[in-house]
Structure 1
Amino acid sequence: MATPASTTLKHGVRTAALLLAGGAGDFDPLLERIGDARVVLIGEASHGTEDFYDLRADITRRLIEEKGFTAVAVEADWPDADRVNRYVRGRSTDATGQAALADFQRFPTWMWRNTEVLEFTEWLRRHNATAGAKGQTGFYGLDLYSLHPSIDAVLAYLRQTDPDAARRASRRYGCFSRYRDSPESYGQIVSFGEGRSCKAQAVEQLRELERRTAPAGQSADELFSAQQNARVVVNAERYYRTMLSPGHSSWNLRDTHMMQTLQSLMQRPENGRPTKVVVWAHNSHVGDARATELGPQGQINLGQLARQHYPNDAVLVGFSTYQGTVTAASRWDGAAQTKRVRPGLPGSYEALLHDVGLPAFQLRLDNPKLVGLEAPRLQRAIGVLYLPETERASHYFNASLTRQFDWMIHIDTTKAVQPLARQCEARAPRDVRPRSVVPAD
């Protein structure tokens, strides 16, 4: 039975709601809220919902065309995204966007090899072709799982530019060679004292690359990418060593790496223009961790760090859904499945937003009509796994919406994203999360 307080809150949400009707001006209020901000982080409540990808791309296109955003940084590995970056800039031999997405082989491939990302990739290539060299927008990866692909990328760069440096790098990175087929085993073996750490070699190689300047006739972009790959190796080495540690160590290290990558992009002008970055990542990375039950337990995330480093320049946008379908797996390394999303639990934000009775809307979360929305409620996070049989324990945590995000977009009934190919994914390391909450990504 509805209480007077819940009825008042629902009425406040409804009166504050900005409708999404599929029109060209739907996101005018959001762009007004973004203003001159240089970092816009756009989330998703799952890694397998077409609506989230579609609307996120719509917002990003407008930010690029109307606000001069110069980079799209996604929750993906640097080498995989770099192939897309070369394609959208017209610098690769890939004939199609689908070919450019082919390096996304690690589970879950559907995160980036799907129809919505393909469409955006082709759009960005067309935009860059007409924008000219000084108006191009890049596509980058924020994540750190690519230990060996990043090693390969560093070696490939040095073999082309400095064979002696390539031989030194090969000797240093040789420390990792026995773990090539299972990088997480590196962390297990080193943690239990059964093998030597490769930390010193990885750090030494990064330091050498950081001292380099681009050779004459070579693009500074290639050196920047090599340096970033060397940074991935350093942080991936540490990440795999902390995977078995209790608490939030591995999560915090991963999001700190994402922040370092974001800062590297922000500090590097794109074709002479100040860099402005759109981030695509899960709500669990984008929403300020301090506004969730996990923050007081010691978890940090990219959204929190972005607010702290860019207090007047970061805008955090979240997504929500009540029901529908989602592309997800039932186990780590499992096949992609189309699953039915259960209605949001009573008392959750999903249920509250559903009860407003609008199919699609958005909220500016500093609207005074939303008094009461700051109170902690259950919030759902579906990552690459969806386990409806244990939904409360696996997918819900408490959060304060108005402190977590600046803007919320709710699509009441959503549909699953369509993978480009349903196939067996390469084995991926299982991430570690606190308590019973399933990894959101």
Structure 2
Amino acid sequence: MGLAFLWVAFAQPALAMDTDAVVSSLCDADVVALGELPSHGEAAVQEMRASITHELIEQCGFQRVLFESAAIEFFSLEKDAMTRANSDNALGGFLSSDNLAPFRAWLFDKVTAGKVSVSGIDDQIGASSQFSRTFLPALIARASGQPECGRAVERNLFWRYGDAAPYDVSEQFLLFSCLASIRGDTLSPEESFAVEVLLRLYARQAGIEAFGTRDASMATIALWHLEKDRALKTIIWSANTHIAEATGPSGITPMGQRLATELGDHYRSVAFTVLDGETARMGASPSALEALPPHSLEQGAARDASGALSYIYDDRLRQQDGSPSRLMGGVKEADWSRMFDGVVVLPETCPPSYSR
């Protein structure tokens, strides 16, 4: 396999990063989730995930990618002219790194050629979600029949709060009640989907537990996309904490556990971690990754791989059950083989760079 899509700035010839084992273990799956550390701040992971995604699409016939990005924002790719600008806005946030620029350009070409579809699975709406901030207030005002509901949603999405209009319990309940009052009879399927996504977000922010966790919402959104066309082989990009197939140290049922229950062996999850280096989220200062103990999963994988990329799965992953790892944020112990089908361990990383 060529290395044309390995954009790892620190890579040296001796590092011989080979994705063959990862791709071949996933090629026959219907849904593949590729993780990353919960910090979202490791360039090497971004680039390796992009490389594996490229190979899964080119070699294994995957045709859809679902990102941990604002689900509603991707409607802009259907309602407006497909441009690099609205495509990048839909991906948003940490996926706008310079490190992923070649991948975004390649993916845009695939989408505009009709060979790949892209969507989001997050109910959260970020600052780059320009379409959502215009589309949703108008939709909610019309669907609820209450102009004040549209104004409340606009206030929230643009965060126009202050002493005169605080974001307090009353405001949270207003947002929830506005969404809960809407009946979907006159709405298109996409509009009903948008209302349901926003309802779950506002219910959670108002502390109404009956509507579930963010992971539950992400699973619902992912399954909605999968049900639209079960024939499309699908890649999901999300944090390790979300793609896990079993509950981990946090005690929260992850999206991946719900997907694995629904899809069975058709769902595969591969987590990513890094032995050493620096991390930084978008706009934050770099910091060193927490030191790992000698008996950590990452240290063991590095020893076995003589410093090169290591992909551990099946028996090798089971041997690491109970080992400490940074896979889920911090350094924690878990039975990793229950949570993931495989783990990619990279030797080193630096933070992603952002020029916009």
Q: TM-score range by the shorter chain?
A: 0.7 to 0.9
Q: Partner of 1:390 in structure 2? A: none
Q: Which residue of 2 aligns with 1:254?
A: 214
Q: Determine if the alignment matches structure 1 residue 21 to structure 2 residue 27.
A: no
State the partner residue of 1:3.
none
1:349 has 2:336 as partner: no
Instruction: Mark the CA change 1:328 to 1:342 in structure 2 (over 3 Å): closer, same or farther.
Output: same
Q: Distance in 2 between matches of 1:187 and 1:56?
A: 41
Contact 2:204 2:212 in 1 (8 A): no
Q: In structure 2, what is the equivalent of residue 140 of structure 1?
A: 119
CA, structure 1 residues 344+364, in 2 after alignment: closer, same or farther (shift >3 Å)? closer
How far apart, in 1, do the equivalents of 2:291 and 2:206 lie?
38
CA contact (8 A) 1:80 1:101 kept: no
Match of 2:194 in 1: 229
Matches within 5 A, 1:243-392: 253-269=213-229, 274-290=231-247, 292-295=248-251, 299-328=252-281, 335-356=283-304, 358-367=306-315, 372-374=319-321, 376-381=322-327
**Is the alpha carbon distance of 1:396 and 1:21 closer, same or farther for their aligned partners in structure 2, counting shifts above 3 Å?**
same
Q: Tell me which structure has the larger Cα radius of gyration.
A: 1
Structure 1 residue ranges without an equivalent (≥5): 1-18, 159-163, 214-222, 330-334, 384-394, 422-441
SS at match of 2:101: helix
Distance 2:339 2:212 in 1: 17
CA contact (8 A) 2:144 2:181 kept: no
After superposition, what is the alpha-carbon deviation per residue over 1:369-419, rounded to whole angstroms, capped at 9, x for unaligned?
555322x12221587xxxxxxxxxxx2222122111101111111222111
Matched letter for residue 338 of structure 2: R
User: Is 1:325–1:338's contact at 8 Å kept on the other side of the alignment?
Assistant: yes
> C-alpha offsets along residues 209-258 of structure 1, whole Å, 9 cap, x if unaligned?
6x545xxxxxxxxx52x33322221011112112xx9xxx6996101110
Q: Distance between the aligned counterparts of 2:42 and 2:197, measured in 1?
A: 28
1:420–1:47 distance in 2 versus 1, CA, 3 Å: same
1:401 to 294, 319, 336: 336
Counterpart of 2:179 in structure 1 is 202
Q: Using the alignment, how far apart are the partners of 1:409 and 1:310 within structure 2? A: 23
Q: Distance in 2 between matches of 1:396 and 1:377?
A: 10
Indicate how the Cα distance of structure 1 residues 36 and 27 shifts in structure 2: closer, same or farther if over 3 A, else same.
same
Q: TM-score, normalised by structure 1?
A: 0.66
Measured in 2, the distance between the counterparts of 1:313 and 1:72 equals: 16
Secondary structure class of the residue paired with 1:325? strand
Query: Could you tell me the percent identity over the aligned residues?
Result: 20
Question: Match of 2:242, as an amino acid?
Answer: H
Alignment of 1:114-263 (within 5 A): 114-130=97-113, 133=114, 136-146=115-125, 150=132, 152-154=134-136, 165=142, 168=145, 170=147, 172-176=149-153, 179=156, 181-182=158-159, 189-190=168-169, 196-205=173-182, 207-208=183-184, 212-213=187-188, 224=190, 226-242=191-207, 253-263=213-223
Cα 1:183/1:409, change in 2 over 3 Å: farther
Q: After TM superposition, give the deviation of residue 56 of structure 1 in Å.
A: 0.9
* Total equivalences in the alignment: 337
DSSP 3-state at the match of 1:319: strand
The gaps in structure 2 that reach 5 residues or longer are 1-13
Counterpart position of 2:11: none
The residue type paired with residue 379 of structure 1 is S
One-letter code of the match for 1:347?
Answer: H
Q: For 2:345, what is the secondary structure of its paired residue? A: strand
In 1: Cα distance, 2:28 partner to 2:86 partner: 35
Paired residue type of 2:95: W
Secondary structure at the aligned position of 1:267 is classed as helix
Q: Against the structure 1 CA distance between its residues 373 and 341, is the aligned structure 2 distance closer, same or farther, given a 3 Å change threshold?
A: closer
After superposition, the CA RMSD in angstroms is 3.6
8 Å CA contact retained: 1:38, 1:314: yes
The answer to whether the Cα contact below 8 Å between 1:70 and 1:276 also exists between their aligned partners in 2 is yes
2-side partners of 1:157 and 1:241: how far apart?
Answer: 21
1:78-119 CA-to-partner distances (Å, cap 9, x unmatched) read 244555x459xxx6264xx366424677xxx3x122123332
**Distance 1:362-1:311 versus aligned 2 partners, 3 A rule:** farther
Aligned partners of 1:240 and 1:21: how far apart in 2? 46
| Counterparts of 1:183 and 1:355, CA distance in 2 | 52
Q: Deviations over 1:171-208 (max 9, x none)?
A: 54445466455499999733xx6874443431343x41
Instruction: Deviation per CA, 1:8-50: give whole Å up to 9, x if none.
Output: xxxxxxxxxxx9724xxx3333333224322111001241111
Aligned partners of 1:288 and 1:413: how far apart in 2?
26
